[in-house]
């Protein structure tokens, strides 16, 4: 059974304990008991009871270091439930179901929204493979004295939600944003697959042109560059349209490396479609997009 089934079984005190730990993880790797008592608004004599409860549910980690050095931290399951609870309270995602896919830096689950709409909930898992490596490379982690995985995942999701909102406004072919909380981005679910999963593509030239039209529109109207555009981030839907997904790493067109990043995206797209018989000159495509 999915751990999201716990969301409706938990008491409000349990959520308060998790919230208190979350708030304090901005400053502490291991949150001391005094902070949990202060932020949870739970009767001090009952805090230990509720701490034990969420610990038994496997929602937090406990650092054993004697009474003076004891501390607590959220694990990913606890953080997931905080986000799921908030999204349900806001009527964004009324239920969360089966996994739709597991990526290097995210897990995607099916959900149900208002009116029975099918949703895709993307849980950001930044640093799952190497947190230290990610922390050194992401510009939003620079100069942070204490940067937790929780902070990184939250900022990554916030960036993606902000980019999708901007892209939805110009009607780019990207997923429709339905909501966002903590490390979770909620989007409309589409019936499609990554183009790299197809051995053969019908009319690859038409799909290539759809992709390039979007890159140009996004560059000129939203002033954004994807920065990781390739066959793994292009969905081909059942109704023969494309969707460009995965936007947390996108940068503005005034970024110091903007031209280099745009060129790399274009080269990736041209290289992939070249394997399907589409002849395209990356330099000419770049010049057309940028007007240079």
Q: What is the dihedral of CA 168, 174, 178, 179, to 10 degrees?
A: -90
Give Cβ neighbours of residue 185 (< 8 Å, ≥ 6 apart).
121, 122, 124, 157, 160, 161, 164, 177
Annotated active-site residue in 143, 203, 228, 283: 228
**Coil, strand or helix: which one is 61?**
strand
Concerning whether 228 is annotated as a catalytic residue, the answer is yes
Give 244-249 contacts, CB < 8 A, sequence gap 24+: 244/172, 244/173, 244/174, 244/211, 244/214, 244/218, 245/174, 245/175, 246/160, 247/159, 247/160, 247/163, 247/164, 247/167, 247/174, 248/124, 248/156, 248/157, 248/159, 248/160, 248/163, 249/159
DSSP H or E stretch at residue 95? strand 95-102
Q: Hey, which residues are catalytic here?
A: 228
């Amino acid at each position: 059974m999915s751990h999201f089934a716990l969301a409706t079984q938990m008491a409000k005190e349990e959520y308060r304990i998790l919230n208190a730990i979350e708030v304090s993880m901005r400053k502490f790797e291991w949150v001391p008991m005094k902070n949990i008592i202060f932020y949870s608004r739970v009767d001090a004599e009952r805090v230990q009871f509720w701490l034990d409860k969420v610990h038994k549910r496997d929602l937090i980690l406990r650092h054993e270091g004697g009474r003076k050095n004891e501390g607590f931290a959220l694990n990913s399951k606890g953080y997931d439930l905080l986000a799921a609870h908030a999204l349900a309270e806001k009527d964004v995602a009324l239920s969360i179901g089966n996994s739709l896919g597991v990526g290097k830096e995210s897990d995607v689950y099916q959900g149900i929204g208002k009116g029975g709409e099918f949703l895709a909930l993307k849980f950001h898992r930044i640093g799952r493979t190497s947190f230290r490596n990610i922390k050194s490379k992401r510009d939003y982690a620079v100069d942070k004295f204490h940067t937790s995985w929780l902070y990184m995942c939250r900022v990554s999701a916030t960036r993606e939600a902000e980019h999708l909102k901007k892209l939805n406004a110009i009607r780019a072919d990207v997923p429709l944003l339905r909501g966002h909380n903590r490390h979770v981005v909620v989007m409309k679910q589409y019936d499609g697959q990554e183009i790299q999963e197809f051995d053969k593509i019908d009319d690859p030239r038409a799909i290539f042109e759809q992709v390039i039209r979007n890159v140009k529109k996004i560059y000129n109207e939203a002033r954004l560059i994807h920065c990781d555009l390739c066959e793994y981030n292009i969905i081909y839907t059942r109704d023969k349209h494309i969707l460009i997904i995965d936007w947390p790493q996108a940068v503005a067109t005034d970024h110091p490396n903007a031209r280099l990043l745009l060129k790399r995206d274009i080269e990736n797209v041209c290289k992939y479609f070249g394997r399907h018989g589409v002849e395209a000159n990356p330099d000419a495509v770049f010049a057309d997009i940028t007007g240079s």
